[in-house]
Amino acid sequence: MPRVSILMPVYNTRPEHLREAMDSMLAQTFTDFEFLILNDCSTDPQVEEVVKSYHDPRIVYAVNERNLGISGSRNRLLDMAQGEYIAVMDHDDISLPERLEKEVAFLDEHPDVGLVGCQFSTIGGRKTSQLPLDDVSLKKSLMIHCGGMCHPASMIRRSVLIEHGIRYEAIFSPAEDHALFCRMIPYTCFATLPEALFQYRAWEGNTSHSQAKKMESAKQGVLAFARRDNPELWAMARTYLVDRRRYRLFGIPVITRVRTWRETRWLLFECIPVWGGKDRLPKIQGL
């Protein structure tokens, strides 16, 4: 039985991007894994051609009988997985060679941690993410804006998902990854490695670009249950949440309203205080 199951759903991705993603996983310094690739009924035949051009025995290739969408496909991959750890991977990103080795080592050394990620950069970019490293900061970040963890750079202890019946939920797609993390909050610790071991492909075909409005709607649903189910963490997290609204005249921000969970302040030209005090207005959602 392999230590790690790499789960990669594929759907109509560019052949050159898919090859880069597959090559990056097959070049890992940690080799005890199964590489599960699930084709969600791609209409582009090149997707299957690329996968079948590889002959590594660790690759397990399957095709859905019908299009299940991203959550359904991720759940089928979870059902196929046999490894102790789940390594998430998307079909157009790149994992650096030591990603699996370092994430496995961390989970082996920290049995209380069920989710570990790493820092990342964008392909062709120079900046590296500055994600929080510790459990509480990561969980607070997830409840403030669904941030703090990079899903395709993550590794999950499979037993946590099985013991608590946690799955990807289609109702929250395309933010099903954030929902999964938030469902895990009460049951295990989170961590992020300080090294950048992953490269994210930011381009017009990403879900975050093509489904921005649907993504925002789904995130609001995730935040609602995450805050409801973890009131103590939310009480700490909300002190960092700020709603800033600008009122412009001829494109210039003349008046700015800054609202926190405690108070509302009004600023002239974003810097001159004109009024402030405890919030007596209807509170914004979540504050």
pLDDT in tens, 105-129: 999 999 999 999 999 998 887 788 9
What are the distances in angstroms from CA 140 to CA 46, 76, 172, 236?
42, 30, 19, 7
Higher pLDDT, 265 or 199: 199
Query: How does the average pLDDT of the chain come out, rounded?
Result: 88
Tell me the C-alpha to C-alpha distance, in Å, between residue 4 and each of 112, 157, 185, 194, 264: 18, 9, 22, 21, 49
Choose among 98, 96, 97, 100: nearest CA to 7.
Answer: 100
pLDDT in tens, 169-180: 999 999 999 999
Taking the C-alpha atoms of residue 147 and residue 169, their distance in angstroms, rounded to an integer, is 18
Structure letter (DSSP) for residue 240 = G
113 vs 244, higher pLDDT: 113
Q: What percent of the chain has pLDDT over 70?
A: 86
Q: Specify the CATH architecture of the domain 4-233.
A: Alpha-Beta Complex (3.90)
Residues 130-150: what's their mean pLDDT? 90
Q: What pLDDT, on a 0 to 100 scale, did the predictor assign at position 96?
A: 97
Neighbouring residues of 242: CB distance < 8 A, sequence distance ≥ 6: 258, 259, 260
What is the reported pLDDT for 176?
Answer: 96
Sequence-distant (6+) residues with CB within 8 A of 61 are: 37, 39, 51, 52
Q: Which residue has the higher pLDDT, 145 or 225?
A: 225
- Higher-confidence residue of 206 and 26: namely 26
Q: Which amino acid is at 33?
A: F
Tokens encoding 106: 């961390």
Is residue 280's pLDDT more than 50?
no
Is this prediction's pTM over 0.85?
no
At 183, the pLDDT band (50, 70, 90 cuts) reads very high
For 11-23, what is the mean pLDDT?
Answer: 96
Across residues 214-225, what is the average pLDDT? 93
**Residue 45 in this model has a pLDDT that exceeds 50:** yes
Total number of residues shown for the chain: 287
Query: Per DSSP, what are the bridge partners of residue 9?
Result: 38
Instruction: List the one residue out of 4, 33, 12, 7 whose CA is nearest residue 152.
Output: 7
DSSP string, 102-118: HHHHHHHH-TTEEEEEE
Per-residue confidence (pLDDT) for residue 263, from 0 to 100: 62
pLDDT at position 58: 98
What is the per-residue pLDDT for 265? 67
- Residue 277 pairs in a beta bridge with 264
Instruction: Check whether 90 has a pLDDT greater than 90.
Output: yes
